[in-house]
Amino acid sequence: MNNLLDNKIEFLKGVGPKRAAILNKELNIFTFDDLLNYFPFRHTDKSRIHKVAEIDNDNVYYQLAGKIDNIKSYGTPRLTRITATLTDETGSIELVWFKGLKWIKTRFVPQQKYLLFGKASAFNNKFNFVHPDVEDFNPADFTQGESLQGVYNTTEAMKTQGLGTKSVARLVKTLLFQVKDMITEVFPQYILDKEKLISRADAYFNIHLPSDSNMLQLSVNRLKFEEHFFFQLQLLHNKKNRELYVKGFPFKVVGQLFNDFYANHLPFPLTNAQKRVIKEIRHDLGAGTQMNRLLQGDVGSGKTIVALMVMLIALDNGYQAALMAPTEILAAQHLQTIQTLLEKMPVEIALLTGSTKAKQRKIIHEGLQNGTLQILIGTHALIEENVQFKQLGITIIDEQHRFGVAQRARMQEKNDIPPHILVMTATPIPRTLAMTQYGDLNNSRIDEMPPGRKMVETRHLYQHQRLQMIGFLKKQIAIGRQIYIVYPLIHESEKLDLINLMEGYESLLRDFPEPDYRICMVHGQMKAADKDFEMQRFVKGQAHIMVATTVIEVGVNIPNASVMVIEHADRFGLSQLHQLRGRVGRGADQSYCLLMTDFKLTAEAKKRMATMVRTNDGFEIAEVDLQLRGPGETQGTRQSGQIEFKLGNLLQDEKLIKYVRHLVNQMLDEDPQLLKPENQIMKTHFEKIFKKTFDWSRIS
Ligand code: ADP
Ligand code: MG
């Protein structure tokens, strides 16, 4: 079937071996089918050319036609910018380039007419176009009847071989007429009807060669739907497969330890959200299959106690538990917290990190192997080969984004039957990422803070308000509070960063002189012992101010510290700012976060500062972060690399993804193996695109 689509691209009329090699190399296009799936990134509307006088909107795309002249170069000795003007009957408008300058400089012939496509941006009360697409104006384009034309991404290497966007468009056109009848449907009729989708063949045809803008929209909708549908099918297929077929230790009982802790040692009533997620986790643990659950909860939402109670369930069922943290400081803090909470209970706990001494290490290894050691807390040191458990029942990974998927996989190998896995993250993950990047995991959210937590009051101050800031800090110290001052890593070199930090530290020493004030300092290049010593000074209240790089970002809990000053706050991403702010507001006092920046800021940085000032809600901040930075840069993104959709868009498709996920879930609930005759067509397509069998019983 469809074998024409599997043909090598070389055999398409107009391609040949030379161009084929370029298409292989530059665009990963090897077959007819690959080219068919190389969608235009936009369409030019040849039926509509705007006039310069019509431009009245910032950030809107316009298509103009006119002469280009008045070319000016800026920057000596290095060319940094070129401007030019495009003129039509109604006026002139400025064009600007910052890249590819040499080429631009000689590109335009005076008196020749050009077609321009680009986004108008408002600048100094005028509009201009930055890096517009410009091509020679060809009147024939406007008489051929095809008003919408696909524009394809091409590379420099392609252009030098005569394979610009127009040539690609021509090749696609040739292809379409040749394979039109081979493009077969992948959805059953009942889905096409219910979702009002146009046929697949029509969609492919019209996304490349739209008959009109309505058909183009329907085509994009249809193909987007298909892309998300099969992506979710894969995720949910994996998830259900695991739930149905991968054995896990059944934690049947909630026993002595859990009940004793709950009844007698709980230091505070759990929030409803904590109760709910414990219930969700317990449900997974009792099911007899392996749990893979993601627990999201903002900084301070109380994940530690949830982790502890879940570990107690493992112990109650005769298993050991491991808690893995990303840094030694955090691992040590977990140990301390958990030891305190379990003080009056008969549970054996140990800490294993890179700096655990050989002698202690040996004792730990023995305890793990004979089962007397029940809870192991540590850094990634605990996934080393030689760490063997008697019966590891659950691994809890704190602060997921620091760990790679590979490390998680290694944890799975600790037993024949894989331990349950609970991944905890303090970085709230935008919903679209939770449904895609983490779509194969179960998801729990602690979306409620423990009672009595006051909002951290956040202010954005400029450098010229420094004196004001220092005065404020002095007042806070006078009423007994402690203060963090955090410096970002600014330079490529650690040495320069250290200098930057030291300069800040010295200037603070002048503002807060001894002996009235005491300042401690922690940074990444200190020896663990020194770091610990300085930390302890702060923890014990011997220092008023802690100057630090982002080593304190994760997990430190000092309730008396109520002010967080972030220097060069614009250098941090939103989720990092939010994490840092989470270090304060842990006690009963009103807490503050001061974001210090220079006066000049990018629009994006301003938005980040404004978001921090506006809200304390980590989930909301995560959504803004995704919008500003895109999925690749967001902290919730899995390290294995982000998903690349052809048409799907994580920033825009939240509703669609949610809907499709629901649909696929429902379908798999009713027909988990896609055995119904009408569903066969999707199974076949699934197996083709993912090159694996859908049939679970054949997966060992
Ligand atoms: P996370 O790890 O989610 O950032 P922690 O587990 O460190 O948060 O908890 C933050 C603080 O809140 C700790 O001091 C903890 O004792 C406290 N806490 C947690 N749950 C509750 C609760 N239900 N009621 C009151 N305080 C709580
Ligand atoms: Mg924590």
Instruction: Give the Cα separation of 368 and 390 in Å (integer).
Output: 6
Does residue 75 sit in the same domain as residue 114? yes
The pLDDT of 274-293, averaged and rounded, is 93
Tell me which of 572 and 641 has the higher pLDDT.
Answer: 572
Q: Is the CB of 337 under 6 A from ligand 1?
A: no
Q: Which ligand is nearest to the CA of 560?
A: 1
User: Is pLDDT at 116 greater than 70 in this prediction?
Assistant: yes
Domain contains 299: yes
C-beta separation of 458 from 581 below 8 A: yes
- Give residue 65's domain range: 42-151
Q: What is the per-residue pLDDT for 699?
A: 42
7 phi/psi in degrees, rounded to 5: -55, 150
Q: Is the CB of 557 under 6 A from ligand 1?
A: yes
Distances (CA, A) of 630 to 228, 232, 241, 558, 609: 18, 20, 31, 33, 18
Instruction: Give the Cα separation of 134 and 449 in Å (integer).
Output: 54
Q: Max CA-CA distance within the chain?
A: 89
Domain contains 413: yes
What are the start-end ranges of the H helices in 414-515?
431-435, 466-478, 494-511
Mean residue pLDDT of the chain comes to: 88
Q: Assign 61 a pLDDT band (cuts: 50, 70, 90).
A: confident
Does residue 347 sit in the same domain as residue 287? yes
Closest residue by Cα to atom 27, ligand 1, is: 450
Q: What is the per-residue pLDDT for 694?
A: 78
Closest residue by Cα to atom 24, ligand 1, is: 450
Closest residue by Cα to atom 15, ligand 1, is: 302
Domain edge (last residue) among 562, 594, 615: 615
CATH label of the domain that carries residue 424: 3.40.50.300
Look at residue 485 and give its three-state secondary structure.
strand
- Torsion on CA atoms 159, 165, 166, 169, rounded to nearest 10: 130
Q: What is the per-residue pLDDT for 637?
A: 58
Residue by residue, DSSP assigns 590-632 as --EEEEEE-S---HHHHHHHHHHHH---HHHHHHHHHHHH-GG
Q: Is the CB of 297 under 6 A from ligand 1?
A: yes
Look at residue 679 and give its three-state secondary structure.
helix
Look at residue 645 and give its three-state secondary structure.
coil
List 107's β-bridge partners, or say none: none
CA of 348 to the centre of ligand 1 (A): 23
Q: Assign 414 a pLDDT band (cuts: 50, 70, 90).
A: low
Q: What is the per-residue pLDDT for 629?
A: 79
Instruction: Give the Cα separation of 432 and 181 in Å (integer).
Output: 35
Instruction: Give the Cα separation of 239 and 293 in Å (integer).
Output: 11
Does residue 595 sit in the same domain as residue 549? yes
Does residue 359 sit in the same domain as residue 263? yes
Q: What is the per-residue pLDDT for 209?
A: 93
CA of 268 to the centre of ligand 1 (A): 9
Domain contains 242: no
Does residue 354 sit in the same domain as residue 498? no
- Torsion on CA atoms 607, 608, 609, 615, rounded to nearest 10: 100
Does residue 344 sit in the same domain as residue 424? yes
Instruction: Give the Cα separation of 506 and 487 in Å (integer).
Output: 13
pLDDT tens readout for residues 427-481: 788 888 888 888 888 889 998 989 887 889 999 999 999 999 999 999 999 999 9
Does residue 112 sit in the same domain as residue 46? yes
Residue burial 351-384, b: 16+ Cβ < 10 Å; e: rest: bbbeebeeeebeebbebbeeeebbbbbbbbbbbe
The pLDDT of 218-229, averaged and rounded, is 97
Domain edge (last residue) among 397, 412, 446: 446
Q: What is the per-residue pLDDT for 222?
A: 97
Closest residue by Cα to atom 5, ligand 1, is: 302
Look at residue 131 and give its three-state secondary structure.
coil
From the CA of 582, give the closest atom in ligand 1: 4
pTM of the shown model = 0.76
Domain contains 203: no
Q: Is the CB of 303 under 6 A from ligand 1?
A: yes
Does residue 517 sit in the same domain as residue 609? yes
Radius of gyration of the chain (CA): 30
Look at residue 440 and give its three-state secondary structure.
coil
Q: 115: which 2 tokens?
A: 């077609």
The pLDDT of 609-623, averaged and rounded, is 93
Does residue 281 sit in the same domain as residue 347? yes
Q: Assign 384 a pLDDT band (cuts: 50, 70, 90).
A: confident
Q: What is the per-residue pLDDT for 668?
A: 94
CA pseudo-torsion sign 144, 148, 153, 156: positive
C-beta separation of 444 from 293 below 8 A: yes
Domain contains 667: no
Does residue 590 sit in the same domain as residue 477? yes
Q: Residue 643 carries which side chain, given as an amino acid letter? A: I
320: Cα separation from own chain's centroid: 32
Residue burial 426-446, b: 16+ Cβ < 10 Å; e: rest: bbbbbbbbbbbbbbbbbebbb
Q: What percent of the chain stands above pLDDT 90?
A: 56
User: Closest by alpha carbon to 481, among 533, 532, 545?
Assistant: 545
Q: Which ligand is nearest to the CA of 323?
A: 2
Domain contains 29: no
Candidate from 305, 341, 427, 591 with most ligand 1 atoms within 8 A of CB, to mutate: 305
Domain edge (last residue) among 115, 132, 151: 151
DSSP one-letter code for 224: H
66 phi/psi in degrees, rounded to 5: 175, -175
Instruction: Give the Cα separation of 417 and 160 in Å (integer).
Output: 56
Q: Assign 700 a pLDDT band (cuts: 50, 70, 90).
A: very low
Instruction: Give the Cα separation of 433 and 657 in Å (integer).
Output: 10
Contacts of 650 (CB under 8 A, 6+ apart): 430, 432, 433, 436, 626, 631, 643, 657
User: Closest by alpha carbon to 292, among 406, 420, 484?
Assistant: 420
Q: 353: which 2 tokens?
A: 């990190």
Q: What is the per-residue pLDDT for 437?
A: 81
Candidate from 266, 301, 336, 456 with most ligand 1 atoms within 8 A of CB, to mutate: 301
User: Is pLDDT at 409 greater than 60 in this prediction?
Assistant: no
Q: How many residues does the structure list for the chain?
A: 700
Count of domains forming the chain: 3
Domain contains 541: yes
3-state per-residue secondary structure call for 365-422: HHHHHHCCCCEEEECHHHHCCCCCCCCEEEEEEECHHHCCHHHHHHHHCCCCCCCEEE
Contacts of 413 (CB under 8 A, 6+ apart): none
Does residue 489 sit in the same domain as residue 393? no
Q: Which ligand is nearest to the CA of 578?
A: 1
The pLDDT of 21-31, averaged and rounded, is 95
User: Closest by alpha carbon to 663, among 455, 435, 461, 502?
Assistant: 435
Q: Which residues crowd ion ligand 2, with CB under 5 Å?
A: 555
Q: What is the per-residue pLDDT for 519?
A: 96
Q: What is the per-residue pLDDT for 698?
A: 43
Q: 500: which 2 tokens?
A: 């930057």
Q: Assign 624 a pLDDT band (cuts: 50, 70, 90).
A: very high
Instruction: Give the Cα separation of 416 and 248 in Å (integer).
Output: 10
Q: Which helix (H) or strand (E) holds 206?
A: helix 200-208
Q: Assign 218 a pLDDT band (cuts: 50, 70, 90).
A: very high
**Beta strands at 113-123 and 126-130: parallel, antiparallel or unpaired:** antiparallel
Tell me which of 506 and 694 has the higher pLDDT.
Answer: 506
pLDDT tens readout for residues 81-101: 999 999 999 999 999 998 878
Does residue 442 sit in the same domain as residue 462? no
Tell me which of 220 and 142 has the higher pLDDT.
Answer: 220
Q: Assign 696 a pLDDT band (cuts: 50, 70, 90).
A: low
The pLDDT of 500-513, averaged and rounded, is 92
Domain contains 348: yes
